[in-house]
Structure 1
């Protein structure tokens, strides 16, 4: 619909817009996609989703780092 040849091109364009200050939300529910917020509640939900995702990513990274430490016998600082 927007004329991008690939999903990656769209993602890069969204990232450029976000870096310039645009508030563009995204969701994986109800078919997923990018959208402009209609209200404060949508922004708050997006922030909550990103925060939860960041926490889960951090836990996964810590587990992998712990496993690597065990394999190499080195401890992280």
Structure 2
């Protein structure tokens, strides 16, 4: 599957390191890909934690709302 150069939008071979049209570096280092994957995992965990906290807060609000004074 060809990839587009982010600079000139020319299509290049999937394994290309340099754009054939503009000669700019289009390779993404493996360390950046690993960092991106780690950040995505952390983001997903934070979203899950936020969702749990929201559910707990709503449950507490419902209990307080129906608790007689």
More helix by share: 1
TM-score by length of 1: 0.45
Higher Cα radius of gyration: 2
